[in-house]
Amino acid sequence: MVHHLFLFLLKFSRLIEQNEYGISKIKQNYTQLSWRGFLRMKDDPILDENPDTSSTKIGDMKVSYTFGDYASYKEMLKYMRTIEFYYPNLTKLIRIGRTHEKLPIEGLKIGYPVENNEKRAFWIDGNIHAREWASSHTALYFINQLISGYGRNSRITHFLDSLNIYIFPCLNPDGYEYSRSNPTPQVRLWRKNRSPETCKPSSWGGKRCCRGVDLNRNFDFHWAEAGSSSLPCSNLYHGEQVFSEPETRAVRDFMLSTRMRDKFDGFITLHTYAQLWIHPYSHEVDNYPPDYYDLRKIAKKAIEKLKKPYGIQYKIGTGANILSPASGGSDDWAKSKLNVKYVYLVELRPELELSNGFILNKKELIPTAYETWQAVQEVIDSTRSPSQDSTNHITKQPIVKQFNSQSMLTKSSSIMNGTWRISTISLPLSSLSLSSLTSPPPSSSTLSRITITKRVNSTCRDIRFSCKLWLKINRNVCIEQQSFMSIQCKKSCNFCKDE
């Protein structure tokens, strides 16, 4: 107790230094010391496993994080808890649950004043997949920018005065720490959590038993459908039932709690890798929410901001349309069940074609975080706009009503589970905002219709946008990998030329 009291009283000054990326080294401020934080530091075994009482160590204590490097989950927790310790009016540590291995799942609530629970909210998370280390680094960078920018940057000050921003850098601590435990591929590239072994009968006789559930296939949105697996040894194993995992239940219980329900206007989940800005829905191709145009419009603004610093180009779309279908994802759940307005899954650097993308070079960590922060601010800005209704910004008519009143949907289109399953939408140019599309506007002014999605009954398409690259690398790949390529690259391989 005396040791901790000494540390508490020792901190009396603060100095903030910023480099070209805006990363701050936040030192002590006696006037902002938090007794709540002191008690947490005193009692928490994660912070006090090996206390260092040397004068050098005490003198160096400050709110810092090694940006540009990968750190342990313990170091992430120390960083967040120390920030809360020094900025009690701006931050509050939130623990939403524990993992299978009893690690705390913690994040920061950031807003001013932090005790104001009536404000709207914005959610950001990272590392739901263990091997995607750059995602937690990026989320921690966001925390640094918000804390160091408040009172100095008018935009950030406005964010935190009007919103509570919740950032959970690592939703899968068990899996993350396991992936750090050994550099061999089967460990370093571990994707799932570390749930106990589940056994299923093997087609070769006997049973196969494996650990772990893909947390991003365990949410309550078209659970156990396309893009997931019932096999425990699969990387895409969806679990024995929806929300079977303590990590996913923790997210659900927090966001659906009485205090937080209906508060969230934004939801961003950070992943690696592919340089994609994904919006709902991803459980099947060509399935969109009614405010599809709003989501596309803001996504386009975001990736334009992201591109400016280093020229990195992202693609926009649903996961099903630009990658492959994936059901049970947290982003689709947030959109469909929580009715969050702006929901995005962001696949960070590098581009999909690189085979070692999960092991991002450390030199790229800060640039990745910096450029992504430029984009995320655009999304946060959008939640603060005067009108958050789903409207066409030319006609000012609600998108869904526009479809109904003008009978724009084809007969094969339908509404399923509150979502639009759109095969083809034809819109007069006078009522369509071309700026909301990622492709350039048509060159002919006489064009009378624009097809937003594929034509009815058309199945000749590539699911993977890297199909042409694979063919360039190996001209025989369509034959050598026929079962895979016939599904993923049907068009490029000419498997549908007679359709």
Residues annotated as catalytic (active site), given as ranges: 347
Name beta bridge partners: 351: 274
Tell me what percent of the chain is helix, strand and coil, each rounded to the nearest 5.
35, 15, 45
**How many CB atoms are closer than 10 A to CB 419?**
21
CB 354 within 8 Å of CB 245: no
SS3 of 376, please?
Answer: helix
Distance between CA atoms of residues 345 and 257, nearest Å: 23
CB 460 within 8 Å of CB 496: yes
First to last CA, the chain: 76
Distance between CA atoms of residues 295 and 344, nearest Å: 8
SS3 of 349, please?
Answer: strand
Structure tokens at 437: 């599309």
Distance between CA atoms of residues 367 and 66, nearest Å: 14
The three-state (H, E, C) secondary structure of 200-219, written as one string: EECCCCCEEEECCCCHHHCC
Distance between CA atoms of residues 250 and 241, nearest Å: 15
Q: What is the DSSP string of 318-346?
A: -HHHHT----S-HHHHHHHHS--SEEEEE
- Name which of 264, 401, 387 is nearest 337 in CA terms: 264
CA distances from 471 to 464, 481, 497 (A): 12, 11, 17
Distance between CA atoms of residues 217 and 222, nearest Å: 9
Instruction: Count Cα atoms within 13 angstroms, Cβ side, for 395.
Output: 20
Phi, then psi, of 480 in degrees rounded to 5: -65, -30
CB 50 within 8 Å of CB 3: no
Distance between CA atoms of residues 326 and 222, nearest Å: 9
